[in-house]
């Protein structure tokens, strides 16, 4: 039985795509095609969260890959690995969102 049935790159792309989708859902109502919400923000203020948050999602995907060794032990270790993977992904995503949106929505 292989330890890593899915490659690291594929899991990182899945994590980055999921994070990008979530941040787009959050940013599009902010006025993607309209004027800047606040004049003190830079003109291209959305670039930072659109770069930082998918990178954080990719790191969350890498965490899922790293925990594969625990996932294939069976029993309660599998449940712990899935819980750690999901909670870890959302903590990393949240930290990436805070860092990406710092200075714009979250002063």
Domain membership of residue 84 (yes or no) is yes
Evaluate whether 66 touches 21 at the Cβ level (below 8 Å). no
Q: Quick one: pLDDT at residue 71?
A: 79
Domain membership of residue 37 (yes or no) is no
pLDDT exceeds cutoff 70 at 93:
yes
Q: Which residue has the higher pLDDT, 102 or 59?
A: 59
Domain membership of residue 17 (yes or no) is no
Domain membership of residue 29 (yes or no) is no
Domain membership of residue 31 (yes or no) is no
- 37-84 confidence digits (pLDDT tens): 665 667 777 888 899 999 999 999 999 998 888 878 788 888 998 999
**Domain interval for residue 100:** 46-107
- The band of 6, judged by pLDDT with boundaries at 50, 70 and 90, is confident
Domain membership of residue 59 (yes or no) is yes
Q: Which residue has the higher pLDDT, 32 or 8?
A: 8
Domain membership of residue 36 (yes or no) is no
- In 3-state terms the chain splits into helix, strand, coil percentages (rounded to 5) of 70, 0, 30
Count structural domains, the chain.
1
Domain membership of residue 14 (yes or no) is no
DSSP single-letter state for residue 6: S
């Amino acid at each position: 039985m292989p330890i890593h049935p899915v490659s690291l790159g594929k899991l990182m792309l899945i994590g980055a795509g999921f994070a990008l989708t979530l941040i787009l859902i959050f940013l599009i109502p902010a006025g993607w095609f309209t004027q800047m919400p606040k004049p003190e923000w830079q003109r291209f203020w959305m670039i930072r969260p659109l770069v930082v948050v998918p990178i954080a999602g990719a790191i969350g995907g890498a965490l899922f890959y790293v925990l594969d060794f625990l996932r294939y032990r069976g029993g309660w270790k599998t449940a712990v690995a899935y819980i750690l993977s999901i909670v870890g992904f959302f903590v990393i995503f949240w930290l990436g969102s805070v860092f990406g949106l710092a200075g714009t929505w979250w002063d």
